């Protein structure tokens, strides 16, 4: 079978799509880049935001038209949204042949064959991490994600992830280390460890290793140049983890630390477990321990009950020039979450207005931070050709600034010393000085 996979959502979904593709390739499928060439169409969708759900069903609507011309075409929905909707998905779109949750990803080859026999199939399975990436089938890349834990026990009021991905469980250290060794041997230079609330890594493993221990052990792998992790929850940061980040040379000076709101009232309603002041103190501690550290964040505007005063508190956090990057979203209600049942849902117009104001402020402060770097020198790991201008290259500093520069393709995978020549809102331009 020729398979086409479309992914919506977070890094965890990208990682799942890689595992999905690998399982299908191991089963004899080939992967194609155009839906029109495929016999099996798969959409791997996130459930965190309503937008991803709408995009997935609109895509399936287009595929349903193709299926009218080619009734043998198999359409599958996989990932968090499939898990969340379960059999309701078939009602939303009768063109769907099977639904498989994130815990059944590696069973998709078998499920797709069953679905090809004409009856809708669903599988939500028991998650197994498996052996991870296999260089024989997986795509080699300069940077790679490696899943270290699944699920989340936090139950933030707005989030459907614990419902879709289930309770937290961690992958044993030795499996993670084996996968990273294979990645590094095939040319990967930078690894990002993934977990929904990665600070809680290891709590449910027999010997209870923590994230700090995992970082120390991963850093011992020869040839690994850079190490990052996602997503750290502000309430679960330990001193031991901060020390590990400061001590381990491979751990980059950059952290993604979702704030979500600057208002304590809203943070409490969101069940985030910290105040805006706790967050600022943690940011200060991290910056004191790790010179040059950059912080990126997430914001949700228009959470139920958010007043203009609450939103002003968010704007004040954004004004502090703390964030070099931020992902901002309008709150969207997700079925079966606590927030979906809250009164005072904020109107679409108000949410859009607040999002635009917050975005303007974050753009201003991000540009300030980037402008201050013009004229400085930094090491850039070259990752790929720049997608817009194929003649240029794109890489990142250890502090997670994207840098575009001129250079030969042979530099991909190398660290290059670069002088920063210009700042844009969300990226930098640079001039190569020398190979490091
Ligand atoms: S920490 Fe909160 S926002 Fe993050 S995955 Fe868990 S429940 Fe969702």
Give the pLDDT score at 350: 97
Same fold, 2-123 and 377-435: no
Q: How far is the CA of 17 from the centre of ligand 1 (A)?
A: 21
Q: Ligand 1 atom 4: the closest Cα is on which residue?
A: 196
Q: Considering the domain delimited by 129-252, tell me its CATH architecture.
A: 2-Layer Sandwich (3.30)
Specify the CATH number of the domain 377-435.
2.40.50.140
CA 90 to CA 256: how far, in whole Å?
A: 36
Q: Contact at 8 Å (CB) between 142 and 383? A: yes
The CATH H-level (homologous superfamily) assignment of domain 2-123 is: Methylthiotransferase, N-terminal domain (3.40.50.12160)
User: Cα separations (Å) of 370 from 131, 324, 367, 425, 430?
Assistant: 40, 8, 5, 8, 12
What is the number of the ligand 1 atom nearest to the C-alpha of 197? Answer: 1
Per-residue pLDDT of the chain (436 residues; tens, 9 = 90+): 999 999 998 888 888 898 899 999 999 999 999 999 999 999 998 876 778 888 999 999 999 999 999 999 999 999 888 888 888 888 889 999 999 988 888 889 999 988 877 777 777 766 666 667 888 888 889 999 999 998 899 999 999 888 888 889 899 999 999 999 999 999 999 999 999 999 999 998 999 999 999 999 999 999 999 999 999 999 999 999 999 999 999 999 999 999 999 999 999 999 999 999 999 999 999 999 999 999 999 999 999 999 999 999 999 999 987 899 999 999 999 888 999 999 999 999 999 999 999 999 999 999 999 999 999 999 999 999 987 766 799 999 999 999 999 999 999 999 999 999 999 988 999 999 976 5
47, 195, 197: which to mutate for ligand 1, most atoms within 8 A of CB? 197
Q: Ligand 1 atom 2: the closest Cα is on which residue?
A: 156
46, 47, 154, 163: which to mutate for ligand 1, most atoms within 8 A of CB? 154
CA 116 to CA 208: how far, in whole Å?
A: 43
Q: Contact at 8 Å (CB) between 303 and 158? A: yes
Ligand 1 site residues, Cβ closer than 6 angstroms: 152, 154-156, 159, 161-162, 196-197, 233
Q: How far is the CA of 233 from the centre of ligand 1 (A)?
A: 8
Q: How far is the CA of 316 from the centre of ligand 1 (A)?
A: 24
Give the pLDDT score at 128: 66
Domain boundaries, the chain: 2-123, 129-252, 377-435
Q: How far is the CA of 155 from the centre of ligand 1 (A)?
A: 6
CB atoms near residue 221 (< 10 Å): 16
Ranges of H-type helices in 291-435: 308-318, 348-371
Report the Cα 175 to chain-centroid distance in Å: 21
Give the pLDDT score at 126: 63
Tell me the β-bridge partners of 119. none
13, 149, 196, 237: which to mutate for ligand 1, most atoms within 8 A of CB? 196
**For residue 231, is the peptide bond before it cis, meaning its omega torsion is within 30 degrees of 0?**
yes
CB atoms near residue 395 (< 10 Å): 27
CA 95 to CA 112: how far, in whole Å?
A: 14
What is the number of the ligand 1 atom nearest to the C-alpha of 152? Answer: 6
9, 151, 152: which to mutate for ligand 1, most atoms within 8 A of CB? 152
Residue with tokens 């010393």, as numbered in its chain:
417
Q: How far is the CA of 32 from the centre of ligand 1 (A)?
A: 33
Q: What is the SS3 assignment for 215? A: helix
Give the pLDDT score at 296: 96
Q: Quick one: tokens of 47?
A: 């459930």
User: Cα separations (Å) of 108 from 41, 44, 98, 149, 269?
Assistant: 12, 12, 9, 21, 38
Q: Quick one: tokens of 191?
A: 């690894």
Give the pLDDT score at 73: 94
Strand order in the sheet with 226-230: 143-147, 190-194, 226-230
């Amino acid at each position: 079978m020729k398979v086409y996979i479309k992914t919506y959502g977070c890094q965890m979904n990208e990682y799942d799509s890689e595992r999905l593709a690998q399982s299908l390739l191991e089963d004899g499928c080939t992967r194609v880049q155009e839906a029109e060439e495929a016999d099996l169409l798969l959409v791997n969708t996130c459930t965190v935001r309503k937008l991803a759900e709408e995009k997935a069903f609109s895509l399936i609507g287009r595929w349903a038209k193709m299926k009218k011309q080619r009734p043998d075409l198999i359409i599958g929905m996989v990932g968090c949204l499939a898990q969340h909707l379960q059999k309701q998905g078939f009602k939303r779109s009768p063109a769907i042949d099977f639904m498989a949750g994130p815990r059944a990803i590696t069973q998709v080859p078998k499920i797709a064959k069953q679905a090809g026999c004409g009856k809708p199939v669903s599988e939500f399975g028991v998650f197994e991490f498996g052996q991870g990436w296999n260089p024989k089938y997986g795509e080699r890349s300069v940077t790679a994600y490696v899943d270290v834990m699944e699920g989340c026990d936090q139950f933030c009021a707005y989030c459907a992830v614990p419902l879709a991905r289930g309770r937290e469980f961690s992958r044993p250290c030795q499996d993670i280390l084996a996968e990273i060794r294979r990645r590094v041997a095939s040319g990967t230079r930078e690894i990002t460890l993934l977990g929904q609330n990665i600070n809680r890594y290891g709590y449910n493993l027999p010997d209870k290793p923590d994230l700090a221990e995992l970082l120390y052990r991963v850093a011992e792998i020869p040839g690994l140049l850079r190490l990052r992790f996602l997503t750290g929850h502000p309430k679960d940061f330990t001193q031991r983890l901060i020390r590990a980040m400061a001590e381990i040379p491979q751990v980059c000076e950059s952290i993604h630390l979702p704030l979500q709101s600057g208002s304590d009232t809203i943070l409490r309603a969101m069940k985030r477990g910290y105040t805006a002041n706790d967050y600022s103190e943690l940011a200060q501690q991290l910056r004191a321990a790790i010179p040059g550290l950059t912080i990126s964040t997430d914001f949700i505007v228009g959470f139920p009950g958010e007043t203009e005063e609450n939103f002003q508190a968010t704007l004040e956090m954004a004004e502090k020039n703390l964030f070099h990057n931020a992902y901002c979203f309008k709150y969207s209600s997700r079925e079966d979450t606590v927030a979906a049942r809250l009164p005072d849902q904020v109107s679409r117009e108000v949410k859009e207005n607040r999002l635009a104001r917050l975005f303007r402020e974050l753009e201003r402060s991000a540009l300030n931070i980037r402008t201050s770097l013009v004229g400085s020198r930094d090491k850039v790991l070259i990752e790929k050709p720049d997608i817009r201008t194929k003649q240029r290259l794109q890489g990142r500093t250890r502090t997670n600034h994207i840098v575009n520069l001129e250079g030969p393709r042979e530099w991909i995978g190398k660290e290059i010393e670069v002088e920063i020549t210009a700042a844009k809102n969300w990226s930098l331009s640079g001039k190569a000085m020398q190979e490091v």
